[in-house]
Amino acid sequence: MDYAKTSKDILAAAGGAENISSYTNCMTRLRLNVKDQSKVDVEAIKAMDGVMGVIPGEQTQVVVGPGHAERLRQAFGEVSGVTADPEIGGAPTADPSQVQVKDKAAETKAAVKAKQTSKAQKLFRHVGNIFIPIIPGFIACGLVLAITNIIKMADPSVAKNPWFLVAAGLGGLITSGLNLAVGYNTAKEFGGTPILGLLAGGVPYMTSLAGIAATDTTPAQPITIPLFGELHPALGGVIGVMLTAFIFTVIEKNFRKIVPASLDLFLVPFVTLVVGSAICIFIIMPLSGLLMQGINWLLIDFALEKGGVFGGYLLSALFLPLVMLGIHQGLTPIHAQLIADHGFTQLLPVLAMAGAGQVGMALAVWAKTKNKELKNIIKSALPIGFLGIGEPLIYGVSLPLFYPFITACLGAGFGGAVVALGIQLTPGGFGSTGLGVSGILMTGLISGGQWLWYVGGLLTAYVMGFILTYFFGFKEKMVERLA
């Protein structure tokens, strides 16, 4: 891809610099925040070399694949002169397809999103914007954890080696500092001062809330609240952090309207911190704690532990439709909090089977089709599909063909059922100790040495995605939908 030329072409097709308020990227997409959607020529952008698809909307998303998205964002910044959102960084993966794909899935997804409540869509978009910049940290720390876990499985005695402990500590950095990063990004997302957002992220985690003194003096009594009882650090988790940082931003903006400019620097941060912290401690933390308990009961206690194999099947089979609707962004803080509370998230290995079903689907279509262009698309997208990055397969193959998307989801459910069975049969359960990696790479992150259950789920999803697609999901005439 000629990133500079493509950037100029995208800029022209998007209505020019005056129609773009800001831009950013995730691992696979250049995201343009446009002022007037009617000025964006979606079909022209789709026709550009290297563009896999376009998802229109207030944030027009140009799908180009891992690696390309970061380079395209940098080039776009150089040629457009538009203000950039916080830089995100790319994914450490190989180049995906250079093949031009006319992505019919974009219209399908846009039609589905149009039926959703706009407020809900904006809420999940905000959550995504808060966590997307943290993804490179999840990936880096996740890969370090995967390597250290594999080494420890091979030689348990290495756990006493100081250098091994340093490496394991590096892998845990993102978890230990997640509340601060989330607070910082939340303030940025809602137009507040980022450093105040960082402070907001620290408030729910203060050890003094549990009566632990910051000095060598005698510990005080923990804080108690009527109806909720004792508070403790991290009550409400990252959801509480996001709410706290949002409240900090609201207080900051409104108080600044009435404070003289000469006193702004002194009074606005002070009042924001004091008032915002009081609201956090006495209102947000107890309520967000109840919310987290409810979510844990629904997804873990009910869906996985009580639902067992059936619950695992449904969670895996329905995950990609949730991705299409943008609802999956709301699960990221839940995964993060589960890791913070228990050391792993049981939910993520089950949901990761959704990508494995797509791999099985792609193998079946590749084996059955006679279309060389489709074979090339699959051939270039499969390697990163095995690594857990499924967007090229989803937007380049399964969704445009439609029925293979359904059989891939149904096949993924069988993999989720296997993982859920393993969680049920393992005392204390197991899960992923990190975020940001999926597919084969997640094997090294599975806790308690239970990686065989995860691999078994992957293989099952591969096989069932293949079988269901080969016999029921694909016919050669479907290739016409790619035209």
- Tokens, residue 353: 């089977």
- Tokens, residue 285: 């933390």
Q: What is the pLDDT of residues 272-302, one digit of tens each?
A: 999 999 999 999 998 988 888 888 888 888 8
Q: Which CATH architecture has domain 3-91?
A: 2-Layer Sandwich (3.30)
- Tokens, residue 445: 């992150």
- Catalytic option among 26, 141, 280, 409: 26
Decide if pLDDT at 115 tops 70.
Answer: no
99-103, 261-265, 320-324, 382-386: least confidently modelled range: 99-103
For position 472, what pLDDT does the model report?
95
Decide if pLDDT at 110 tops 50.
Answer: no
Q: How many other C-beta atoms can be found within 10 angstroms of the C-beta atom of residue 342? A: 16
Q: What does pTM read for this prediction?
A: 0.69
For position 143, what pLDDT does the model report?
85
pLDDT (mean) for 306-315: 94
The domains of the chain are located at 3-91, 177-303, 309-482
Decide if pLDDT at 362 tops 50.
Answer: yes
Q: How confident is the model at residue 327 (pLDDT cuts 50, 70, 90)?
A: low
pLDDT (mean) for 172-193: 91
Q: What is the pLDDT of residues 127-174, one digit of tens each?
A: 878 887 887 888 888 888 888 888 988 888 998 899 999 998 998 888
For position 214, what pLDDT does the model report?
54
Is 26 annotated in the active site?
yes
Phi and psi based region of residue 407 (left: phi greater than 0; alpha: psi -120 to 50; beta: remaining): alpha
For position 172, what pLDDT does the model report?
85
pLDDT (mean) for 187-192: 93
Decide if pLDDT at 206 tops 80.
Answer: yes
For position 88, what pLDDT does the model report?
36
Q: What is the pLDDT of residues 416-455, one digit of tens each?
A: 999 999 999 999 899 998 887 789 989 989 998 899 999 9
For position 133, what pLDDT does the model report?
84
